Amino acid sequence: MSEAHARFSRLEEGRPVRVDVDGVPVCLVRVGGDVKAVHDTCSHQQWSLADGGAVWGNGVECSLHGSTFDLDDGRPSSLPAMKPVPTFAVTVVDDIITVDTTTALNGAAFPAH
Contacts with ligand FES, residue ranges (CB under 6 A): 42, 44-45, 47, 62, 64-65, 67, 80-81
Q: Which is nearer to ligand FES, 14 or 66 (CB)?
A: 66
CA distance 57 to 4: 23
Q: Which is nearer to ligand FES, 67 or 101 (CB)?
A: 67
Q: How far is the CB of 53 from ligand FES (least distance, A)?
A: 9
